[in-house]
Structure 1
């Protein structure tokens, strides 16, 4: 925004930037910082005159704007109830006889405010912004005392969203004072068209009747529009329009903002407001002869690669500590190749929405929900907040959709209150009269804002009533289950279908989009903290097979208190998905390309030596960037030959890249290598400038069907199953992945007895090499004390303990935190060398650990893998073994422990391997 709009009195103040960059005046004072604070558990404050008797000492200091529950507030108490705030200050507006307003970004939940002992206003609602005019009570030449009383009792009718991760109680967004002239612009709405037409509806509060001039100036003065006005005393609604020549359209790729100001000049002063708008159009459109719609941005289809954002911070909870962290949040999304975010069950802070506008990310913004019955009190409270939210956030070009309700929360009526004596189901407790109220709210929002997509309810119970977009939620684990589910949803989606609807309602031709997906809840007891990478790749691939599907929302951007399914840890630490090990240069962003090559095959298949297979390919295009061009599909079938990347076959295919949507390409015919291998089909889409547009892969477990399958160059070899040790000395030791992996925590050793070939079979052994796959071993609480399944139920939505280290499914995904170990090799008690094991990783590279999971809804160290360890036995020791032909192999772990991976676990398809020649 315009850098000249500054608050000169906010040094060393938390969140000192202007709270509403979409609507800011020059003359303001930030009131964030330390306030006196006290709880009022007995509700004695008003009767004891806390609002006016300043001799009464408050017992704490609180840092505004942080919820009194959060660590950054300095209080850190989860107490619901009543809290009092007090602050004394002086402030004089820069222009004499200005009107003064005390503004609140958001306060949860019921707020009363006094200035110098005079009550200036009340407000109810935890998420909307509000203000009180304090002109008459503010003393410009003397100290003023502001007192705020906040009441938050978590009433059933109260819109609370998903606050269980960390409550927002009391003041949780910035507070500031602002001066305005006697006649001022209350607000203005911009409606833009891609032809450059901009319609403006402004509300002007006039002190008295008279004439005035409204001037709009944007893009450093290149856009200038003015209108002469005849104002009546009080509120005036003014409509005007202007044309932007050669408009620069806003999109995630080119987030151009027209920044500037509104000026209102008249006999009652001059009001100047800095603001901005973006020119863009969101629609739903049928293309060609399709019987369904896609979502379009600026007249073109867009595939929405999105994530669910709880918008939660570990120290400020729902209030970010700094503007930079809100900015960086948008960056973290964009670096993944995402183009939109669903802000979950809460409207976002305007400051973060500014960064979405500025950096370019589309926003689906949810209304907060209540958790009680949808009675009259709950409905009235909800409607008031929804109005505040839409009015406040209307001008953000990033927002493309309003979601009125989520997963029918707050829409189900308790059986007793419904007057039903027998138990009623979830569906039937969503009563017909409530459904009609939801329809009413959908149509109300559509009338309020016809420029955006409105959704009645983002459903997990297949219970739409009426909506601009046909979305659904699913949390499934396992390729077959996911594939079948998507086919079912797509097949049942057509105009007139009653699928995904309730109450006799049927589908229109609205776009089909997923609005929550992932594997965090698709596993018995929850996925704990486990690898996302394997599931994520094939889920993205399966989505892109379906022409009807126009986007998804992955749960979620960051881990939160009891969900560990984020692209990032809660503190922003990145996770390693491991895709570049399959296709050089591949990142998760490749899976979010608008132009995509679908590999219509499972993520891994077991095939035999030399077996042939066919891989169908499809193209999916939701961008016209390469339409009319000829692109190349380059492919390789390769495998890792004990540390050496070996290409079995390769080729390329010319593709005419025309048209939107999904269509078939020629299939690939592959022949598997004649050896034990994890083979990889790596595919890249490349343009004529040799730029790689996207990458994808699938894998194969190639087997001989025999116990002594070929491993590496032809030579003598002995494979020893990792579970066939003769001795182990670890305090914690166990087997996993159906015995294909053995682990020992802390210090200890595994001992194997090795017998080399009889001299009659091989008279002279010149060289012996030991090869195996190993990682360190991070001990979890479940490894020490045993696993515990915690069925959190609805408590999961309120921050219930996930017991992550006890969860039987937990195996930490690879990230920036490492757990190293050292492994020593001994032959007959003689140390011959050691390996530094950097970590205990789990991600897509653990192909065999994923492929050999016995069931889909439980994880047994899924995705875990190790490092290739190779060591030659010294010559002198080899000479001795020519005579004994037996030796004792000891793998001795130091503090970090060790995991050993066999034929059906990890990354490499062999057990403990002894090669000799």
Structure 2
């Protein structure tokens, strides 16, 4: 048995209490919940030691109920707080107990009380944050003690001088602009939809204190070399000390080394037991800071002996090698979201479950997509045996100089933070040109910063949809170890380039809806949509093509995706991790053609889907509707089924009947339904609600969302048919008469449509009077760029 597990459990037993008084707590409403959510209580919040590669005995977990407040950005520190929040779950999440968004114009404040016990003279108290998204400022007893910018990196503050005996007030101020700032933020957006998801603002990883001596080991850098049977160790510690390291297996020491602090120590590892996916062997490591033979500080760690490289096979094809052997990287695109915790897994068991489930499916690789996980996720990958491709969360799309500077600083810190994990084999610099710039320079920098790993400089620099190129690269993977394309839905190979491994960085995305296990039953989607019964055949064929592409030089593939994520229903398992859409044994059989199964497999619990074709029972349910059944729940479910089976006319009729049963004030769930199903002015019930509820819709979805929906309906109904044939000249008098009954919205649609039509036709004579009225009445509704364009044309006609 690996003694690493014993260390972690021993430390956990010492650190399982918090200073927070337990009060009433209730999870916020959520559309979907995992089985682990019920285990979360204020006294049971991620109690595990958060940093498995540098374990000390004296620590205190601060997770639990804190107070919170949301204020305007220019407000001072609050004196009263709005309520309680369960740290470390993001404020937007159900598990936080709050479930509220944070806007870029606001600050989020946290407050709790901390008592530090048994602090001896000369010792220090360090305050650790696993991660805070995005900018944190920390106060202890009213004194600002430090801060940090970066949503994915842990940070530490020495708070010793700010402490006093007894209770100490800890306050954290957070600013998170999400997609409105210069910060890397992954898939988080303020208005989630499609492939973009709910934000995770504020504290989202464990907060804890640690007691250390005045001089202590700050971090470690471990680099294995299996060809030389050595481990290079660099401990960041003050000068003037000795560093002593001991490697052990099962409690038995196998190797020792000693040297000056700051130097690189070389530890011999005789007959190394190599780390691999099928045999993820880990050595235990003890690192001590010593002076005059006396141990001043000591940390427990671990390492794996493994090597990743690009080499050529017997046919001269560049391939990915693990431990000097070609290994096809069969992977999935894992986004790391949870329906109840968003960025934060409900429990440590849940965190490990995802890796166990992916391994049980027969994959050997996870591409961790545009997110950096807590340290314990990588620890689980290390011990369970899973290769990880780690994406860098991309720079803000604005690509301002500030955004570039932040991206480069955070990328370096990401590498430093994750460097010691044997599971991480590949860094991914850019994805699909999101926030990409200076590719050659940054590729060279990243390769020199960590030459021990493979570099995929641009995953999806070229993108293909249905075989057609939709995004063309600019740098052609310059300097990269890998040429990587994305192809949806069907697989294809990357181009053959000298010395580069050919990778299919994303493919698949087969959408399968599982009723009762959906985040949003109205907006679930995939790149292609099939029934549960059709999925296995389609997925099998895709993998057969992957096998044929491997023979032609492909060395790895990443399927989108292991789990549904919010509205994305591309997962092989549902978002709540309850239903696996293809039996695990079948998935392993399919994948065995590419990755033969060896070693033990995790035993996980997941149910199989109902393979009944939704269309099979739809006709009988439609008969009930025809016979007068008008129960609201029945109508809602039947309308969704109608869409799923392609009965658009039935969906319109049934949804109209359902909306007629609703009455104001409408909930967001009801508005979601109304906006989704109302696709024409002829859908009288839904259209009438939108007409009469524009202020309520705008309050929920943002400025002019209601007007935009209304305008699109009116345009589709009364204007678009006039452009069905290009040679037809629109009858603007007829269009105006048809739009008049809708009042001001109808007038705005008419003037806008006619002005833009005449602008595009360069008919400046007729354009002038129409554009003049449109800009006078509705110009304030336009974007600055659009208003400038139309006004500029108007000004020219008056010269």
TM-score, normalised on structure 1?
A: 0.58
Which residue of 2 is the match for residue 745 of structure 1? 620
Which residue of 2 is the match for residue 535 of structure 1? 538
CA contact (8 A) 2:129 2:205 kept: yes
Q: CA deviation at 1:186?
A: 1.3
Is 1:122 aligned with 2:127? no
1:599-610 alignment to 2 at 5 Å? none
User: Are residues 129 and 525 of structure 1, via their aligned partners in 2, closer, same or farther at CA, if it must alter by over 3 Å?
Assistant: closer
Partners of 2:145 and 2:273 in 1: CA distance: 44
Three-state SS of the structure 2 residue aligned to 1:746 is: helix
Instruction: State the aligned residue count.
Output: 563
Which residue of 1 is the match for residue 456 of structure 2? 455
Which residue of 2 is the match for residue 472 of structure 1? 485
Is 1:575 aligned with 2:600? no
Three-state SS of the structure 2 residue aligned to 1:386 is: helix
Three-state SS of the structure 2 residue aligned to 1:264 is: strand
CA contact (8 A) 2:276 2:306 kept: yes
Of 546, 553, 560, the match for 2:558: 553
Three-state SS of the structure 1 residue aligned to 2:367 is: strand
Which residue of 1 is the match for residue 102 of structure 2? 79
Of 212, 219, 225, the match for 2:242: 212
Structure 1, residues 678-714: CA drift from partner, whole Å, max 9, x if none?
Answer: xxxxxxxxxxxxxxxxxxxxxxxxxxxxxxxxxxxxx
Q: CA deviation at 1:225?
A: 1.3
Moved more, 297-306 or 258-267: 258-267
Structure 1, residues 622-677: CA drift from partner, whole Å, max 9, x if none?
Answer: 7799xxxxxxxxxxxxxxxxxxxxxxxxxxxxxxxxxxxxxxxxxxxxxxxxxxxx
Partners of 2:449 and 2:642 in 1: CA distance: 53
Three-state SS of the structure 1 residue aligned to 2:220 is: strand
Is 1:279 aligned with 2:305? yes
Is 1:57 aligned with 2:97? no
User: Are residues 745 and 807 of structure 1, via their aligned partners in 2, closer, same or farther at CA, if it must alter by over 3 Å?
Assistant: farther
CA contact (8 A) 1:260 1:274 kept: yes
More strand by share: 1
Partners of 1:45 and 1:781 in 2: CA distance: 53
Structure 1, residues 519-545: CA drift from partner, whole Å, max 9, x if none?
Answer: 448999843574432221111001111
Q: CA deviation at 1:213?
A: 4.3
CA contact (8 A) 1:462 1:472 kept: no
Three-state SS of the structure 1 residue aligned to 2:95 is: helix
Partners of 1:121 and 1:742 in 2: CA distance: 61
Partners of 2:673 and 2:286 in 1: CA distance: 49
Which residue of 2 is the match for residue 780 of structure 1? 641
Which residue of 2 is the match for residue 494 of structure 1? 496
Q: CA deviation at 1:748?
A: 5.0
Q: CA deviation at 1:215?
A: 2.8
Q: CA deviation at 1:19?
A: 1.1
User: Are residues 58 and 470 of structure 1, via their aligned partners in 2, closer, same or farther at CA, if it must alter by over 3 Å?
Assistant: same
Partners of 1:803 and 1:248 in 2: CA distance: 60
Partners of 2:361 and 2:526 in 1: CA distance: 29
Which residue of 2 is the match for residue 5 of structure 1? 11
Partners of 1:172 and 1:60 in 2: CA distance: 18
User: Are residues 103 and 519 of structure 1, via their aligned partners in 2, closer, same or farther at CA, if it must alter by over 3 Å?
Assistant: closer
CA contact (8 A) 2:509 2:526 kept: no
Which residue of 1 is the match for residue 774 of structure 2? none
User: Are residues 408 and 159 of structure 1, via their aligned partners in 2, closer, same or farther at CA, if it must alter by over 3 Å?
Assistant: same
Q: CA deviation at 1:18?
A: 0.9
Q: CA deviation at 1:28?
A: 0.7
Three-state SS of the structure 2 residue aligned to 1:237 is: coil
CA contact (8 A) 1:254 1:360 kept: yes
1:248-267 alignment to 2 at 5 Å? 248-266=273-291
Which residue of 2 is the match for residue 406 of structure 1? 431
Q: CA deviation at 1:406?
A: 1.0
Is 1:36 aligned with 2:35? no
Q: CA deviation at 1:779?
A: 6.5
Which residue of 2 is the match for residue 352 of structure 1? 377
Which residue of 1 is the match for residue 132 of structure 2? 107
Which residue of 1 is the match for residue 502 of structure 2? 512
1:83-94 alignment to 2 at 5 Å? 83-93=108-118
Larger Cα Rg: Structure 1 or Structure 2?
A: 1
1:160-171 alignment to 2 at 5 Å? 160-163=185-188, 164-171=196-203
Of 245, 250, 253, the match for 1:222: 253
Of 216, 233, 242, the match for 1:184: 216
User: Are residues 242 and 807 of structure 1, via their aligned partners in 2, closer, same or farther at CA, if it must alter by over 3 Å?
Assistant: farther
Three-state SS of the structure 2 residue aligned to 1:471 is: strand
CA contact (8 A) 2:333 2:562 kept: yes
Partners of 1:803 and 1:574 in 2: CA distance: 29
Of 154, 157, 174, the match for 2:206: 174
Partners of 2:673 and 2:567 in 1: CA distance: 5
CA contact (8 A) 2:395 2:404 kept: no
Of 357, 367, 372, the match for 1:342: 367
Q: CA deviation at 1:246?
A: 1.7
Three-state SS of the structure 2 residue aligned to 1:321 is: coil
Three-state SS of the structure 2 residue aligned to 1:457 is: strand
CA contact (8 A) 1:520 1:563 kept: no
Is 1:152 aligned with 2:152? no
Q: CA deviation at 1:166?
A: 2.3
Is 1:143 aligned with 2:155? no
User: Are residues 289 and 8 of structure 1, via their aligned partners in 2, closer, same or farther at CA, if it must alter by over 3 Å?
Assistant: closer
Structure 1, residues 420-448: CA drift from partner, whole Å, max 9, x if none?
Answer: xxxxxxxxxxxxxx3xx222222211111
Q: CA deviation at 1:334?
A: 1.0
Partners of 2:269 and 2:13 in 1: CA distance: 32
User: Are residues 221 and 315 of structure 1, via their aligned partners in 2, closer, same or farther at CA, if it must alter by over 3 Å?
Assistant: same
Three-state SS of the structure 2 residue aligned to 1:404 is: strand
Q: CA deviation at 1:398?
A: 0.5
Of 91, 96, 100, the match for 1:68: 91
User: Are residues 129 and 32 of structure 1, via their aligned partners in 2, closer, same or farther at CA, if it must alter by over 3 Å?
Assistant: same
Which residue of 1 is the match for residue 37 of structure 2? none
User: Are residues 591 and 125 of structure 1, via their aligned partners in 2, closer, same or farther at CA, if it must alter by over 3 Å?
Assistant: same
1:499-898 alignment to 2 at 5 Å? 508-520=498-510, 526-528=527-529, 530-531=531-532, 532-546=535-549, 547=551, 548-577=553-582, 587-593=586-592, 596=593, 744-746=619-621, 780-782=641-643, 783=647, 786=650
TM-score, normalised on structure 2?
A: 0.66
Q: CA deviation at 1:589?
A: 0.7
Partners of 1:803 and 1:366 in 2: CA distance: 38
Which residue of 2 is the match for residue 833 of structure 1? none
User: Are residues 306 and 786 of structure 1, via their aligned partners in 2, closer, same or farther at CA, if it must alter by over 3 Å?
Assistant: farther
Which residue of 2 is the match for residue 897 of structure 1? none
